[in-house]
């Protein structure tokens, strides 16, 4: 049988290997004459003495008769006439349970430059989202271990949530809390465009040995080429998809989607796309839903996803924040004012929402959550009057009630990074105090 299959494959074999030649390098864009290749295909550029070193590059477009490539590594040794070899397929990574507890780069290679463990399976990085008609509805709550989220913004298995915040408001710390405390079978965390210094800080200080033991970390730092940062996001999503196909409930956390969009903008501008809103190219807004829709439920398992979005100057209506908010199933807004007051996680209750919470919780839980929101809204409306002493108690029953309940609400919403509370405990405490 094996011999027969080998014989049948003979007519399709290529007796020659075709190469192209580098003709020009502009910035990070490499132009070559040939080889025959398609968009998204992985190629190798042969450099160094006797062409011993191979630089990975991906076909990102065409200009007249030239093939446009962008490197996944550095371009230092590429010279005019360097040979370009087509592989005939897009980038694939090796995935399996042997990766759990490891840190990999955007191409799925171990970041400590060790060899990958044995027993891994090849898996493509660029996959289509599940068929909408084959996605089960989100019906089961996911215990995240963060009291404010579990009680007021209950997240379901397979839900996709955006975490919107400016720099330094506690996004990474919140992601680490979710990774350590959630009831998911596995965490896949992507650090896209992060500072190199912060990677080890996140692993050792925020995540810790306990968190890393059930996590696969994908890292593409800010110094790496734009295509490598894009591949980091794609690789992390592909790893999560692989384990979802095994029937697991996976937490996918990406920090940040904004830097993924910036990397795609670099690629788009280099290939000649026109800049549109705030310099972002049309391909950015085409890539975002393609990436974000890959998470969620399917017939076998679920990917519950958390995507952080950097908002410049805390502007919630900037283009990427606006586009992502329209795609996802809810958003958590981290407020700098709350962080400055020492409230962590600094979630702004009135600006955050979970779009599937009403399908996941009982009426008493829902009513208690709405009451907390109403009390916070009432307090904030009268806060200026209260602070300057212009409000007299007894003037309004609602404001009096809000003033009395506000300290308990802040205590309820504040949680230490090492404090853990299950979904059931959080819901029970909410209904007991504010039901």
CATH of the domain at 40: 2.40.10.170
Query: What pLDDT is attached to residue 124?
Result: 93
Query: E-strand spans in 268-318?
Result: 296-297, 302-310
Same domain, 71 and 129: no
Same domain, 260 and 386: no
Section 264-279 average pLDDT: 89
Rounded Cα–Cα distance for residues 312 and 259 (Å)? 12
Section 340-367 average pLDDT: 94
Q: Is residue 73 part of a domain?
A: yes
Residue 61 and residue 51 in contact, taking contact as beta carbons nearer than 8 Å? no
pLDDT at 76 over 70: yes
Section 146-160 average pLDDT: 96
The helix (H) or strand (E) run that includes residue 359 is none
428 contacts: CB under 8 Å, gap ≥ 6: none
> Which 3 state secondary structure label does DSSP give 214?
coil
pLDDT at 270 over 90: no
Query: What pLDDT is attached to residue 415?
Result: 94
Residue 318 and residue 119 in contact, taking contact as beta carbons nearer than 8 Å? no
Query: What pLDDT is attached to residue 315?
Result: 67
Rounded Cα–Cα distance for residues 23 and 350 (Å)? 56
- State the first-to-last Cα distance of the chain, in angstroms, to the nearest integer: 69
Same domain, 73 and 98: no
CB 357: neighbour CB atoms within 10 A?
20
Give residue for tokens 């606006």: 322
Query: What pLDDT is attached to residue 375?
Result: 96
Q: Is residue 5 part of a domain?
A: no
- For residue 46, the enclosing domain spans 15-90
pLDDT at 322 over 80: yes
Instruction: Give the bridge partners for 68, in sequence order.
Output: 31, 61
Four-point Cα dihedral 122, 124, 128, 130, nearest 10: 20
Give the Cα-Cα-Cα angle 44, 49, 50 (nearest 5 degrees). Answer: 70
pLDDT at 369 over 90: yes
Per the document, the length of the chain is: 435
Q: Name the residue with higher pLDDT: 162 or 64.
A: 162
Query: What pLDDT is attached to residue 12?
Result: 63
Rounded Cα–Cα distance for residues 303 and 243 (Å)? 9
Over the chain, what is the mean pLDDT? 90
Token duo for residue 175: 């992601």
Rounded Cα–Cα distance for residues 88 and 25 (Å)? 23
Same domain, 374 and 355: no
Residue 312 and residue 301 in contact, taking contact as beta carbons nearer than 8 Å? no
Residue 55 and residue 79 in contact, taking contact as beta carbons nearer than 8 Å? no
Query: What pLDDT is attached to residue 88?
Result: 86
Same domain, 352 and 378: no
Give the Cα-Cα-Cα angle 61, 229, 45 (nearest 5 degrees). Answer: 50
Residue 218 and residue 191 in contact, taking contact as beta carbons nearer than 8 Å? yes
Q: Crossing angle, helix 363-387 and helix 397-413, to 10 degrees? A: 110
Section 416-425 average pLDDT: 92
Number of domains in the chain: 3
Same domain, 206 and 293: yes
Residue 176 and residue 202 in contact, taking contact as beta carbons nearer than 8 Å? yes
pLDDT at 54 over 90: no
Same domain, 65 and 151: no
Q: Is residue 2 part of a domain?
A: no
Section 295-316 average pLDDT: 88
Same domain, 180 and 38: no
pLDDT at 9 over 70: no
pLDDT at 96 over 80: yes
Same domain, 151 and 271: yes
The helix (H) or strand (E) run that includes residue 229 is helix 226-245
Same domain, 29 and 140: no
Query: What pLDDT is attached to residue 41?
Result: 92
From 344, 360, 376, the end of a domain falls on 360
Residue 384 CB-density burial (10 A; 0-12 exposed, 13-18 middle, 19+ buried): exposed
Name the pTM for this structure.
0.92
Burial 304-339 (b: 16+ CB within 10 A, else e): bbbbbbbbeebeeebbbbebbbeebbbbbbbbbebb
From 90, 115, 130, the end of a domain falls on 90
Q: Is residue 1 part of a domain?
A: no
Q: Is residue 269 part of a domain?
A: yes
pLDDT at 307 over 80: yes
CATH assignment of the domain containing 399? 1.20.1270.330
From 58, 90, 122, the end of a domain falls on 90
pLDDT at 1 over 60: no
pLDDT at 146 over 60: yes
Same domain, 169 and 269: yes
Q: Is residue 31 part of a domain?
A: yes
H helix intervals, 60-193:
147-152, 171-181
Four-point Cα dihedral 116, 118, 123, 125, nearest 10: -10
* Residues 162-189 pLDDT 10s: 999 988 888 888 999 999 999 999 999 9
Same domain, 167 and 315: yes
């Amino acid at each position: 049988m094996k011999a027969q299959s080998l014989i049948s494959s003979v007519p399709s074999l290529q007796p020659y290997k075709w190469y192209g030649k580098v003709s020009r390098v502009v910035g990070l864009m490499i132009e070559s004459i040939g080889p025959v290749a398609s968009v998204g295909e992985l190629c190798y550029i042969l450099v160094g003495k006797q062409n011993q070193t191979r630089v990975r590059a991906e076909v990102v477009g065409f200009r007249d008769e030239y093939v446009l490539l962008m490197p996944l590594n550095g371009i230092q040794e590429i010279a005019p006439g360097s040979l370009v070899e087509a592989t005939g397929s897009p980038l694939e990574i090796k995935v399996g349970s042997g990766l759990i507890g490891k840190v990999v780069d955007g191409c799925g290679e171990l970041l400590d430059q060790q060899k990958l463990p044995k027993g891994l399976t090849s898996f493509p990085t660029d996959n289509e989202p599940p068929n909408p008609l084959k996605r089960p509805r989100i019906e089961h709550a996911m215990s995240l271990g963060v009291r404010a989220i579990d009680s007021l913004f209950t997240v379901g298995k397979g839900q996709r949530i955006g975490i919107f915040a400016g720099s330094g408001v506690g996004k990474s710390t919140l992601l680490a809390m979710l990774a350590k405390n959630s009831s998911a079978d596995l965490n896949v965390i992507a650090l896209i465009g992060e500072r190199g210094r912060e990677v080890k800080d996140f692993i050792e200080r925020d995540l810790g040995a306990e968190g890393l033991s059930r996590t696969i970390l994908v890292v593409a730092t800010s110094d790496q080429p734009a295509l490598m940062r894009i591949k980091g996001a794609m690789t992390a999503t592909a790893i999560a998809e692989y384990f979802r196909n095994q029937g697991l409930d996976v937490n996918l956390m990406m920090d940040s989607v904004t830097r993924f969009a910036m990397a795609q903008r670099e690629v788009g501008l280099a290939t000649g796309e026109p800049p549109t809103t705030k310099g972002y190219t049309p391909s950015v807004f085409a890539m975002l839903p393609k990436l974000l829709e890959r998470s969620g439920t399917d017939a076998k398992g679920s990917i519950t996803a958390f995507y952080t979005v950097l908002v410049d100057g805390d502007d919630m209506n900037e283009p990427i924040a606006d586009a992502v908010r329209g795609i996802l199933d809810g958003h958590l807004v981290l407020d700098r004012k709350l962080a400055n007051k020492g409230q962590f996680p600094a979630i702004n209750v009135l600006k955050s929402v979970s779009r599937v919470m009403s399908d996941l919780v009982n009426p008493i839980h829902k009513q208690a959550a709405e009451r907390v929101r109403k009390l916070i809204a009432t307090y904030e409306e009268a806060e200026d009057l209260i602070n300057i002493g212009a409000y007299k108690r007894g003037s309004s029953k609602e404001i009096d009630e809000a003033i009395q309940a506000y300290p308990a609400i802040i205590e309820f919403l504040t949680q230490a990074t090492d404090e853990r509370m299950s979904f059931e405990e959080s819901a029970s405490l909410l209904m007991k105090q504010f039901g």
